[in-house]
Chain A
Amino acid sequence: MNKYLLMMLLAITSMCLHSPAVNAESAKDNYRTYCMQCHGMTGLGMGVNIQDMSVQPRDHTDAKAMGTRTDVELFKVIKEGGLAISKSSLMPPWADTLTDQEIHDLVKHLRTLCNCEYSTK
Chain B
Amino acid sequence: MNSSMAMKLFNILLFCTPIYVGLTLSISAHAGGIGLLKKYDCASCHALTGPAPATLAALWQRKGPDLFYAGNKYRQAWLETWLQQPKRIRPAGMFYMNHIKPGPKRNMVDTSTLTEHIQLNKKDAKAIAATLASMKTHTALIQAEKHDASISPGPLGEMLFDKIYGCMACHQIEPGFGGMSGTEVYTAGKRLTPEFMLSYIRNPQAWDPKIWMPNAHLPDNNKQKLVNYIIKLSKESNDE
Contact = CB atoms under 8 A, between A and B. Distances in A.
Interface of A: 18, 20-23, 25, 29-30, 32-34, 36-38, 40-42, 46-54, 81-82, 88-97
A41 B107 contact: yes
Contacts, number: 108
A48 B181 contact: yes
Nearest to B57: A29
A34 B216 CA distance: 14
A36 to B, nearest CB: 6
Contacts of B55: 23, 25
Q: Which of A23, A48, A53, A96 has the most CB of B within 10 A?
A: A48
A20 to B, nearest CB: 4
Contacts of B106: 40, 46-48, 50-51
Contact of B100 (A22, A41, A91, A96): A41
B38 interface: no
B102 to A, nearest CB: 6
B1 interface: no
Interface stretch (B77-85, B111-119, B158-166, B232-240): B158-166
Interface residues of B, number: 42
Contact of B165 (A40, A51, A89): A89
A33 B97 contact: yes
Contacts of A46: 103, 105-107
Contacts of A25: 55-56
B96 interface: yes
Contact of A22 (B54, B60, B181, B203): B54
B214 A89 contact: no
Interface string B34-70: 0000000000000000111011110110000000000
Nearest to A32: B97
B227 interface: no
Interface in B171-192: 177-181
